[in-house]
Structure 1
Amino acid sequence: MHLSAMLDSAVRKAGDKEALVHGEQRWSYRELDATVRRAAAVLRDAGLRPGDRLAVMTYNSPAFLIAAFGAWHAGATLVPVNHKLQTSEVDRLLRHCGARLAVVDEAVGARATDAAADVRWLISRPDETPGKAGPDADADTSDSFEALVAHAEEWEGARGADTDIAQILYTSGTSGRPKGCVHTHRGIALTATYTSVTVPLRRDDRTLISMPIWHASPLNNWAMSTVFMGGTIVLQREYEPRGMLEIIQKERVTAVFGAPIAFLAPLRAVPDFAAYDLSSVRAWIYGAGPLDADSARRLMSAYGSTNFHQVYGMSEMGPVGSSLSPDEQIDKAGSIGRGGMPGVDLRVVTMDGTDATAGQTGEIWLRSDTRMVGYLDDEEATAKAFDGDWYRSGDLGRIDKDGFVTIVDRMQDLIITGGENVSSQEVEGVLRGHPDIVDVAVVGRPHAQWGETVVAFVVPGDGGAPTLDGLREWMEPLIARYKIPRELVLVTQLPRTPSGKVTKHVLRAELAG
């Protein structure tokens, strides 16, 4: 299915139903469709042609979705851009993807517009409401995306086939410079389909998008799935703990996605947390990391719900992968689930190329029709990422006796010291139990004698910073001695991707000097 056809279908099924909510701004599916057709005309008049790339660099605003569907209606490709990037990063990304037209939030400003001088920028001013004024209103010739859309004529568009390129998704870059994942309309539509079945989503769902919508999962798993089902997308411009609770209560949100910290943070940051009515939510969905059993129990108690779902996936796959259902959250805490979600095949492959059995560790491989076409202009990286139809995730997983898979580490994060394999995530899990540690990341430093040595980057708590000797003594009864860090680096915070993953290559580079 072409993504424009997905919107068409929602209009036919639920034309007068609320499709999009942002503060006091609201669109029915019929109104959203008309606005998208005007946006397509604006983009066409700005020079966008079928096959061209449109970069969109905004917060979670209506302009993002209107520009995205407008681009697809015009037969073009969407390139979501992280609104937190600096000018040099924006410039490199735009040059890499070849975009010549872009929509940017006015709050981002010169960080974007100073990049790539040959790109035309349309400025999104979120307080304006695109599409609400009629085409017969006085023409506005400014660079305001919303004003131009409001005064444009609807256009039938130039959409193509579902095998055309819909998106170029740039990876979060945990292992280095981000790569562009090229996805077709069909692949993204299937991602929405498989996600909808997994949770499952319903046509009466009101889905809150609090995590950055330019990220793969909020966009394709949750926004696109909501359109696929004919539900309502509710946007929070930027995540903030109290703001999330307020929107859930006001809009009677039924499904919420976030990193684990998005649900844990309100318990600390909002003293009157218990005063909010969150009873409308039937699906609390988290990804980008697991929850331990104690954290899961704490969340269930605080939120008054056992309906927590974990999802695991990769941008290269749509993203799709696996899921851990509500009834598995405690007994299988830390696991990503058993096998793949509907429409996805998952296996764990050992070093000798055979499928892992209970107790064994190997690389997680995924297979689905949602898979990317490849990395943009990088045949070598694409070839390394696949083995036939299987995508090699780079994640190491261990299978338990019931077939559930637990992420052990990233392959590039495995530390080999004195011939022994050390899982950085295992060491981090132990260190998180220390009373003076708020956050931690473990990496390897090259060592002439041992190959690598274990280094812990620690964010200390308010009670004082641990010492290396004290930490080693505390860990002695908890973990094998060769796994205990030999170096301790105290930091105020850890570098992270927008999805919350620690960028360990940055820490390794810091050690290298």
Structure 2
Amino acid sequence: MNLTWMLEASARSCGEKPALVSDLGSMTYTELLAASKRAAAVLRERGVRPGDRVGVMTYNTPAFAVAAFGIWRAGAALVPVNHKLTAPELAYVARHSKLRVAVVAEELSGRVREGAPEVDVLTTDDTGGGEFDRLVAGAPEWEGVEVGPEAVAQVLYTSGTTGAPKGCLHAHRGLSAVPAYTTAAAGLRREDRFLLAMPIWHASPLNNWFLSMIYLGGTVVLLKEYQPLAFLEAVRRHRVTAFFGAPIAYLAPLKALPAAGVDLSGFDLSSVRLWAYGGASLGAETVRTLEAAYGPDRFCQVYGMSEMGPVGSVLRPHEQLAKAGSIGAGGMPGVDIRVVRDDGADAGAGETGELWLRSGTRMLGYLDDPEATERAFEGDWYRSGDLARVDEDGYLFIVGRIKDVVITGGENVYAPEVEEAILQHPAIRDAAVVGRTHPDWGETVVAVVEADSAVTLEQLRGFLSTRLAKYKIPRDLVVVPSLPRTPSGKVQKHVLREQVRTGP
């Protein structure tokens, strides 16, 4: 299997059906296939050869899809690039992945040329007037090269919460299976019109949802950038049937509507049968809020990691309230999951351990990092680094990352639990908890917070005294203007640990 076959199959079976719909118009499967062949010819003329890596840094526009399938047809590997990266961050990705060529949105091209001047930049814009757009429009169609199933198709970069981002190497064979597993888990259909509003360069929007629609012969509705009201309007206007987003993508409109003087009833969302979410679990109260707004029995949570394609587990609509906060019971179809205790045994009911996953979608390894690859794999298993608790029914609940456990006086303190309690303080708008080495206790708990008004350690400890066991309450408080985050919004705990390392 390789990914070009997926598009070819859908073009044969439903060639005149819209594959892509956006504010820029509609593109059928036949048109997308032809454009991808012309894009492959353009890349060949720019010196791209089988095995090379080509970056794509755009918004959610048809050019991303054309470029991606052109790259695969040319036998090269796609490197999806976060459009929020700064010039120095772009320099790292370009150097580490050895980018030869990059297709870049015109308004982002200056940043790429500053950070990675050695990369040949082909621009695209919304008018079709970018260099890439013009060259593709005038190029001959090229059938491309045949690549083997184990050839690298993607280099997916992790968020870099524990250091420099790692490049996950994914083969055509593995990525070709992701849509089948996702479709089985979420119940996607050929007649779906899937709204892609989360950045397409992210692993889940790209591989779980975009590729699944191409695999099925469905229609992808592209929203260039997520905005709360634009999201609702896109659902209404395009009669969207399915959507995926982080929980905030659903919560943000409920806050934006009153501020705009608009009521949710003004948007007809009745066409949607699936609201998928990921990136964080939802508590029962949040589930009730969202179901009251968007409709009951339509929400589905997916859990996965870039290293796995991403595939993992699923919490289905009828489980949302009964098992609120869970990621589901076991793996989705095609995925096996274990929760492994420190002694190597499987965790039982009420026990906590590291989540291990195995599937044919697993990455080949990390680019140029054999040591990290060796640490991540245990035979066929991928060691996720996530800690999960198993309940009496076999459902899994993520309690944190292994590095998010602070061991103080022999007691395990899970940072997310403490952070959730801290965020209930009215003066604190964001919080992160890390450990600092202590000569007597092993580690001590430190809270790093953003606050709207002055808050002292004594006040915080008093506030938490009725919410947390004494050993979980922070023994030090650091107030900062803002927490360090990756471009995708994840807190960089390794930066915070270094900042608090030399504290009292």
TM-score, normalization: structure 1? Answer: 0.94
One-letter amino acid of the counterpart of residue 179, structure 1: K
Q: Which runs of 5+ in 2 are unaligned?
A: none
Q: Tell me the equivalent position of 1:451.
A: 442
Counterpart residue number, 2:209: 222
Whole-angstrom distance in 1 between the partners of 2:239 and 2:417:
39
Range that drifts further, 14-23 or 107-116: 107-116
SS at match of 2:108: coil
SS in 1 for 2:327: strand
1:48 matched to 2:48? The reply is yes
Deviation per CA, 1:266-304, whole angstroms, max 9, x where unpaired?
111222241211111111111111111111110111112
- Answering whether residue 287 of structure 2 is matched by residue 287 of structure 1, we say no
User: Which deviates more from structure 2 when the two are superposed, residues 391-400 or residues 427-436?
Assistant: 427-436
Cα distance in structure 2, aligned partners of 1:44 and 1:438: 50
The answer to whether the 8 Å contact 2:24/2:126 transfers is no
Structure 1 Cα separation of the partners of residues 40 and 152 of structure 2: 17
Conserved 8 A contact 2:334-2:359 = yes
CA distance in 2, matches of 1:499, 1:329: 26
Superposed displacement of residue 487, structure 1: 2.2
Shift of 1:470: 2.2
**Contact preservation (8 Å) 1:259, 1:499:** no
Output aligned runs, 1:232-247, within 5 Å: 232-247=219-234
**TM-aligned CA deviation for residue 465 of structure 1:** 4.8
Cα distance between partner residues in 1 of 2:480 and 2:255: 22
Determine which of 452, 469, 486 is the counterpart of 2:458: 469
CA shift at 1:445, angstroms?
2.2
Q: 1:465 to 1:293 in 2, by over 3 A?
A: farther
Indicate the residue corresponding to 2:243 in structure 1. Answer: 256
Counterpart of 2:126 in structure 1: which amino acid?
Answer: P
2:381 equivalent to 1:390:
yes
Contact 1:296–1:329, Cα closer than 8 Å, also in 2 = yes
The CA distance in 2 between the partners of 1:341 and 1:472, in whole Å, is 41
Tell me, yes or no, if the aligned pair for 1:191 and 1:221 is still in contact at 8 Å: yes
Q: Does 1:487 align with 2:476?
A: yes
Quote the Cα distance in structure 1 between the aligned partners of 2:109 and 2:5.
Answer: 33
Letter in 2 for 1:155: W
- Gaps spanning 5+ residues in structure 1: where? 130-142
Query: SS state of the match for residue 425, structure 2?
Result: coil
Classify 1:273/1:190 alpha carbon distance in 2 versus 1 (closer, same or farther; 3 Å). farther
1:427 lines up with 2:418 in the alignment: yes
Which amino acid letter does the alignment assign opposite residue 294 of structure 2? Y
Where 1:371 maps in the other structure, the secondary structure is: coil
Look up the SS of the partner of 2:361 in the other structure.
coil
Alignment partners' CA distance in 1, 2:13 and 2:487: 35
| Residue 499 (structure 1) shift | 4.4
Partner of 1:163: 150
Among 158, 164, 167, which residue is 1:180 paired with?
167
2:263 and 2:483 mapped to 1: Cα distance? 27
Instruction: Indicate if the aligned counterparts of 1:72 and 1:159 stay in contact, CA closer than 8 A.
Output: no
Q: Map Cα deviations across residues 45-70 of structure 1 (whole Å, 9 max, x no partner).
A: 11111111111111112111110000
Which residue, out of 325, 332, 344, partners 1:353?
A: 344
Q: Give the aligned partner of residue 137 of structure 1.
A: none
Aligned to 1:270: 257
Matched ranges for 1:82-93 at <5 A: 82-93=82-93
Q: After superposition, what is the alpha-carbon deviation per residue over 1:95-125, rounded to whole angstroms, capped at 9, x for unaligned?
A: 1111111111111122101233332111111
The yes-or-no answer on 1:378 pairing with 2:363 is: no
Q: Which residue identity is paired with 1:306?
A: D
1:228 counterpart letter in structure 2:
Y
Out of 361, 364, 376, the residue aligned to residue 355 of structure 2 is 364
CA distance in 1, matches of 2:307, 2:92: 20
Counterparts in 2 of 1:381 and 1:49: CA distance versus 1, 3 Å: same
Cα displacement (A) at 1:476: 1.2
Cα gap change, 1:488 to 1:259, in 2 (>3 Å): same
C-alpha distance in structure 2 between counterparts of 1:390 and 1:435, whole Å:
43
The superposition leaves residues 209-266 of structure 1 with CA deviations (integer Å, 9 ceiling, x where unpaired) of 1111111111000100111111111111111111111111111111111111111111
The size of the alignment, in residue pairs, is 498
Q: CA deviation at 1:32?
A: 0.9
CA RMSD of aligned residues (A): 1.6
* 1:441-478 deviations in Å (ceiling 9; x for gaps): 211122333222212233335xx454322221122122
Distance in 2 (CA, whole Å) between partners of 1:196 and 1:455 is 43
The answer (yes or no) to whether the contact 1:208–1:233 under 8 Å persists in 2 is yes
Alpha-carbon distance in 2 for matches of 1:87, 1:499: 16
**Contact 1:357 1:399 (8 Å CA) reproduced:** yes
CA distance in 1, matches of 2:489, 2:336: 26
Q: Alpha-carbon deviations, 1:284-329, whole Å to 9, x = none?
A: 1111111111111101111123311111111111001111111111
Contact kept? 1:288, 1:501, Cα under 8 Å: no
State the distance in 1 between where 2:388 and 2:365 align: 24
Q: Is the 8 A contact 2:427 2:454 kept in 1?
A: yes
| C-alpha spacing 1:15/1:244, structure 2 compared with 1 (3 Å) | same
Task: Say if 1:320 and 1:344, in contact at 8 Å, map to a contact too.
Answer: yes
Instruction: Sort the Cα spacing of 1:498 and 1:188 in 2 relative to 1 into closer, same or farther, 3 A.
Output: farther
Matched residues in 1 for 2:379 and 2:363: separation? 13
| Distance in 2 between residues matched to 1:38 and 1:343, nearest whole Å | 35
Which contiguous aligned blocks of 4+ residues in structure 1 show a shift greater than 4 angstroms?
A: none
Deviation for aligned residue 1:158? 1.1
Question: For the structure 1 residues 451 and 127, does the alpha-carbon distance in structure 2 shift closer, same or farther, using more than 3 Å as the test?
Answer: farther
Structure 2 residue 96 is the aligned partner of structure 1 residue 96: yes
Q: Which moved more, 1:448-457 or 1:284-293?
A: 448-457
Letter in 2 for 1:510: Q
